[in-house]
Amino acid sequence: MSVQKPSLPKGTRDFGPVQMARRNYILNTIKETFSLFGFQQIETPAMENLSTLTGKYGDEGDQLLFKILNSGDFLKNVEPSDLEKGTSAMLPKVSEKGLRYDLTVPFARYVVMNRNDITFPFKRYQIQPVWRADRPQRGRYREFYQCDADVVGTDSLVCELEILLMIKRVFSKLGITDYSIKINNRKILTGLSEVIGEKGREGELCVAIDKLDKIGWEKVQEELNQRGFGERSIELLSPIITLKADNHKKLDFLKGFLSSSETGLKGLQEIQEVIQLLETFGETQDHVDFDVVLARGLTYYTGAIFEVKVHNVSIGSVSGGGRYDNLTGVFGLEGVSGVGFSFGVDRIYDVMEELGLFPEQHADQTKVLITYFDKSGFDYGLRILNRLRQAGIASELYPDEAKIKKQFTYADKKQIPYVLILGDNEIKEKNVSLKNLISGEQEVLSVEEMISRVC
RNA sequence: GUGGUUGUAGCUCAGCUGGUUAGAGCGCUGGUUUGUGGCACCAGAGGUCGCCGGUUCGAACCCGGUCUCCCACCCCA
């Protein structure tokens, strides 16, 4: 009988009481915000048919999917010759389900399957774990929660505005002040590639440009060079890279720069309108940063793209999203435009921890512990416990007959502020001794007095 | 997937060029106080030195493999 050492799969975590209290604090702030903006919650299964998931995230994404082995004899459809055909040929024969990789694709599936019951525009939010077979590191987990809010069935830029507003509200509530919401538009990137004479290569352009913050302009030039971008194209890009100005000045500059690209100008106009809406709504542009070189990997974004970065922390982006014109197309429903974004709770948690932003005392707290010496104290305590709970006071009775010292230590460890001591005197006089463990004061009170004291 | 790094008590870590019974702090249990926590003092429990193999008279220490952790790249929340 060997005892095995327990362990957790790579990249997964347990959450203890303190962590849960803090996570719930973040989650509740987000939920409350979504709901205030008129979003409705849905949930979808942890697992989806593999065919729903594959091909939606690019080749790399497919590799990062967790696949679920078929139940029963998963080799029953496999011929010896299949083995030689390689992994991708084998996979559909042994696995038909996978864990969801994000919440957007399951949502698209949901919309298509429920199209007749949904009233468009449909504003939904969804808070559930997703799984990625990534290699874990700081701020990167294999199981983590996403908090998505999406609107489908409208092109209105009010949706983009609301995303900005929700991000600002959540961060303000959580006490995160030093951050920026980077906003850009895919059409601007398309325009950019047209203007520099590399039409249709905005994807590659984005991948390279995206590293600007990390590796600098010099290295980005090298990478563009390696990817076969012409000297002249890179040179033309230069004024964009070095562009440092406020949002309005950037817009003005780009109107000239992108004047030959119809698509680019359209993107510019969209950004401008969003900023305009922000002003009309009566909100400042604080934290909102039009970033011409912001590029996001996901292939399906077609309009606005967002990313939120908290400054002075070692965590990547804590939120991101954008507009997609035809997300449901692959599932047979054309012409449904949507825009959405996602908060990464786990990363927000890490950020708040790093910045020391969690309020004290955020574990779920018992307010009163009832201690006693013997069976009669236990019985008396049980009745008082009932009274306390009816008064809505989080309270507990020490479950075992133990030395009073041990019961006190328990209260101390759990940071319970009040202790009731029930001995023969208290039982006889029908009162209680109430000790405040923070101040150390102790007094004898009637049950009613005690309840009003600890309320 | 590529490269690098780490692993010793519940936790954070010491442990000399390989040399007897592997240490500290914190935590834990008990006591000083059988009606009182935190603080102090005293005592005690707790380790297959990640795992497997090799070198050696002798390995926590050297070598190989493996797993794990963390970091960078890729990509992302």
**Could you report the per-residue pLDDT of A33-65, keeping only the tens digit for each?**
999 999 999 999 999 999 999 888 877 788 889
Please state whether beta strands A122-131 and A143-152 pair in parallel, antiparallel, or not at all (unpaired). Answer: antiparallel
**What pLDDT does A266 receive?**
94
Q: Tokens in use for A121? A: 């525009």
Torsion over CA: A53, A54, A55, A58 (sign): positive
Is the distance from CB of A186 to CB of A301 less than 8 angstroms? yes
Backbone angles phi, psi at A355, to 5 degrees: -95, 0
Closest residue (CA) to C1' of nucleotide B73 is A135
**What pLDDT does A409 receive?**
93
Q: Which nucleotide minimizes the distance between its C1' and the CA of A2?
A: B48
Residue A367 CA distance to nucleotide B75 C1' (Å): 47
Architecture of the domain delimited by A368-454: 3-Layer(aba) Sandwich (3.40)
- CA A166 to CA A29: how far, in whole Å? 10
Mean pLDDT, chain A, integer: 89
Closest residue (CA) to C1' of nucleotide B74 is A60
Instruction: Of A195, A217, A187, A219, give the one whose Cα is nearest residue A292.
Output: A187
Q: Which nucleotide minimizes the distance between its C1' and the CA of A406?
A: B37
**What pLDDT does A361 receive?**
63
Write the CB contacts of A295 (distance below 8 Å, at least 6 apart in sequence): A184, A189, A205, A206, A207, A209, A210, A305
Which CATH superfamily includes the segment(s) A17-208+238-355?
Bira Bifunctional Protein; Domain 2 (3.30.930.10)
pLDDT in tens, A174-229: 999 999 999 999 899 889 888 888 887 777 777 777 777 777 778 888 888 877 88
**What pLDDT does A164 receive?**
96
Q: Which nucleotide minimizes the distance between its C1' and the CA of A60?
A: B75
Range ranked top by mean pLDDT from A29-43, A138-152, A286-300, A399-413:
A29-43
Residue A137 CA distance to nucleotide B6 C1' (Å): 14
- CA A368 to CA A400: how far, in whole Å? 16
A125 or A55: which carries more pLDDT confidence?
Answer: A125
Within its chain, how far is the Cα of A177 from the centroid?
18
**What pLDDT does A1 receive?**
39
Closest residue (CA) to C1' of nucleotide B77 is A344
Q: Which nucleotide minimizes the distance between its C1' and the CA of A428?
A: B35
Residue A395 CA distance to nucleotide B44 C1' (Å): 34
Element (H, E) at A442: strand A442-446
A58 or A115: which carries more pLDDT confidence?
Answer: A115
Q: What is the pTM of this model?
A: 0.90
The amino acid at residue A169 is R
**What pLDDT does A295 receive?**
79
The residues facing A147 across adjacent strands are A127, A343
Would you say residue A325 has pLDDT above 50? yes
CA angle A53, A56, A62 (to 5 degrees): 70
Would you say residue A250 has pLDDT above 60? yes
Residue A92 CA distance to nucleotide B1 C1' (Å): 21
Q: Tokens in use for A51? A: 């065919």
**What pLDDT does A379 receive?**
95
Closest residue (CA) to C1' of nucleotide B2 is A135
- CA A190 to CA A187: how far, in whole Å? 5
Residue A3 CA distance to nucleotide B45 C1' (Å): 21
Backbone angles phi, psi at A417, to 5 degrees: -75, -30
Which residues of A contribute to the annotated binding site? 102-104, 132, 146, 150, 296, 300-301
Q: Which nucleotide minimizes the distance between its C1' and the CA of A148?
A: B77
Would you say residue A14 has pLDDT above 90? no
Q: Tokens in use for A36? A: 């205030």
Q: Where are the beta strands (DSSP E) in A269-423?
A: 288-290, 304-310, 319-324, 338-344, 368-372, 395-397, 418-422
Which residues of A contribute to the annotated binding site for L-histidine? 102-104, 132, 146, 150, 296, 300-301
| Longest pairwise C-alpha distance within chain A | 95
Residue A223 CA distance to nucleotide B74 C1' (Å): 14
Q: Which nucleotide minimizes the distance between its C1' and the CA of A374?
A: B35
The residues facing A372 across adjacent strands are A422
Residues of chain A within CATH 3.30.930.10 domain(s) are 17-208+238-355
Closest residue (CA) to C1' of nucleotide B68 is A10
CA angle A344, A345, A347 (to 5 degrees): 70
Residue A124 CA distance to nucleotide B38 C1' (Å): 49
Q: Which nucleotide minimizes the distance between its C1' and the CA of A63?
A: B1
Share of chain A above pLDDT 90, in %: 56
Q: Which nucleotide minimizes the distance between its C1' and the CA of A139?
A: B77
Helix (H, G, I), strand (E, B) or coil at A373: coil
pLDDT in tens, A349-402: 989 988 888 887 666 789 999 999 999 999 999 999 999 999 999 999 999 888
Residue A2: how many other CB atoms lie within 10 Å:
4
**Tokens 């203007």 identify what position?**
A195
**What pLDDT does A362 receive?**
61
pLDDT mean over A241-259: 87
Residue A413 CA distance to nucleotide B25 C1' (Å): 20
Residue A159 CA distance to nucleotide B73 C1' (Å): 36
pLDDT mean over A413-439: 93
**Torsion region of A322: left, alpha or beta (phi above 0 gives left; psi -120 to 50 gives alpha):** left
pLDDT mean over A2-11: 73
Strand B: list positions under 7 Å from protein Cβ. Answer: 1-3, 28-31, 33-38, 48, 68-77
Backbone angles phi, psi at A444, to 5 degrees: -95, 125
Residue A435 CA distance to nucleotide B40 C1' (Å): 22
Q: Which nucleotide minimizes the distance between its C1' and the CA of A143?
A: B77
Residues of chain A within CATH 3.40.50.800 domain(s) are 368-454
Would you say residue A2 has pLDDT above 60? no
Residue A7 CA distance to nucleotide B15 C1' (Å): 27
